[in-house]
């Protein structure tokens, strides 16, 4: 019997591309996409779609029972920059949704959970270079606090109730398919759009702000690989460090100039600078590479080529219509 999967938050940046990948692996009818509204028609129209409120236990449970779901990917969350504007909303959404899914697993309604954590769990006292798997975590944002607390609860539910919960600490995710969703690393997506459309970009972080990043294809591969790994091989039940590339806005701008020589960048740091300053510059993900053979495929050069090629294609199609 094939796995029956529910993706909560399927219309978001990662959720939308994860939906596509999982449907290609498990079949359209076995992957149920859900979100609180219909704001991504590609996801809504590409297979079974349900309106599910991640903060409503009953809403999730009804969908689980309707489709006999055994695995949930909980991708709904309020991200770092947006969370700082609405701290209590971020806390409620990020924590309530996790408890609902963990409790469904604890009570035997589902068998497996994927829940994403983030480099936001780290704080200003964390070692910034090659941040270890186990280290000081004193997050300074509401988003980071919810992710740190969530990691502790995931490990607790695994140890106490045997819940098969798996997690990745995502770095900044870069994709050409969806627009930025309110994160501090979103400049690294927006910069490509502005480079093509305007030839210039004003960055909300300083030029020397180095952060861990990852191309979306690698993030999706990491997620799928972890969920397909043998449970016995997994030594981390809080959340795995994963890494790919680290760079500054200035270095990324230089890479873009190789393709668009007239591109220019300016810097006007805002409140997101303080968030970025509290995060690592690079991540040690040796445990993930050892436990489930994680490896990334995209360096900055390959990623930039992919971003600019696909965004230019989308723009020319729009212009043709």
Domain ranges in the chain are 5-171+216-241, 173-213+244-281+298-320
* Domain 173-213+244-281+298-320 listed as CATH 3.40.190.10: no
The pLDDT assigned to 160 comes to: 98
Q: Which helix (H) or strand (E) holds 216?
A: helix 216-228
Q: Catalytic pick from 73, 143, 170, 240?
A: 143
What is the reported pLDDT for 148? Answer: 98
Q: Is 143 a catalytic residue?
A: yes
Sheet holding 211-215, edge to edge: 172-174, 211-215, 245-247
* pLDDT digits (tens), the chain, 321 positions: 478 999 999 999 899 999 999 999 999 999 999 999 998 889 999 999 999 999 999 999 999 999 999 999 999 999 888 999 999 999 999 999 999 999 999 999 999 999 999 999 999 999 999 999 999 999 999 999 999 999 999 999 999 999 999 999 999 999 999 877 778 899 999 999 999 999 999 999 999 999 999 999 999 999 999 999 999 999 999 999 999 999 999 999 999 999 999 999 999 999 999 999 999 999 999 999 999 999 999 999 999 999 999 999 998 888 887
- Cα(228)–Cα(226) distance, integer angstroms: 5
Q: How far apart, in Å, are the Cα atoms of 282 and each of 58, 171, 210, 290?
A: 40, 9, 8, 18
The CATH homologous superfamily for domain 5-171+216-241 is NAD(P)-binding Rossmann-like Domain (3.40.50.720)
Instruction: Judge if 5-171+216-241 and 173-213+244-281+298-320 fold alike in CATH terms.
Output: no
Between CA 66 and CA 59 the distance in angstroms is: 11
Predicted confidence at residue 43, as pLDDT, reads 92
Please tell me the predicted confidence (pLDDT) of residue 239: 98
- How far apart, in whole angstroms, are the C-alpha atoms of residue 197 and residue 62? 44
For residue 7, which phi and psi values (nearest 5 degrees)? -105, 115
- For the beta carbon of residue 318, count every other beta carbon within 10 angstroms: 8
- pLDDT (0 to 100) of residue 307: 98
pLDDT of 39 reads: 86
Q: How far is CA 176 from CA 10, 37, 245, 309, in A?
A: 17, 22, 17, 9
pLDDT for residue 178? 81
């Amino acid at each position: 019997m094939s796995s029956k999967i529910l993706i909560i938050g399927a219309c978001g940046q990662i959720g939308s591309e994860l939906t596509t990948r999982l449907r290609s692996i498990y079949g359209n009818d076995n992957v149920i996409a859900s979100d609180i509204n219909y704001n991504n028609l590609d996801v809504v129209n590409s297979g079974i779609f349900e309106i599910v409120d991640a903060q409503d236990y009953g809403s999730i449970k009804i969908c689980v029972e309707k489709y006999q779901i055994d695995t949930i990917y909980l991708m709904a969350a309020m991200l770092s920059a947006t969370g700082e504007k609405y701290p209590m909303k971020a806390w409620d959404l990020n924590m309530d949704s996790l408890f609902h899914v963990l409790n469904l697993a604890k009570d035997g309604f589902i068998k497996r959970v994927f829940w994403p954590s983030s480099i936001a769990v780290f704080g200003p006292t964390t070692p910034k270079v090659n941040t270890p798997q186990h280290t000081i975590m004193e997050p300074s944002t509401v988003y980071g606090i919810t992710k740190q607390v969530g990691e502790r609860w995931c490990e607790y539910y695994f140890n106490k109730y045997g819940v098969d919960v798996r997690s990745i600490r995502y770095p900044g995710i870069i994709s050409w398919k969806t627009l930025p969703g309110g994160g501090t690393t979103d400049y690294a997506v927006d910069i490509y759009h502005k480079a093509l459309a305007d030839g210039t970009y004003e960055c909300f972080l300083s030029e020397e702000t180095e952060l861990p990043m990852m191309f979306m294809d690698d993030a999706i591969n990491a997620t799928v690989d972890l969920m397909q790994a043998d449970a016995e091989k997994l030594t981390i039940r809080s959340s795995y460090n994963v890494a790919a590339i680290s760079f500054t806005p200035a270095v990324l701008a230089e890479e873009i100039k190789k393709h668009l020589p007239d591109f220019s960048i300016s810097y006007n740091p805002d409140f997101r600078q303080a968030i970025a300053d509290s995060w690592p510059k690079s991540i040690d993900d040796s445990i993930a590479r050892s436990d489930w053979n994680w490896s990334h495929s995209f360096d900055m050069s390959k990623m930039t080529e992919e971003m600019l090629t696909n965004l230019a294609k989308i723009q020319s199609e729009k212009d043709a219509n």
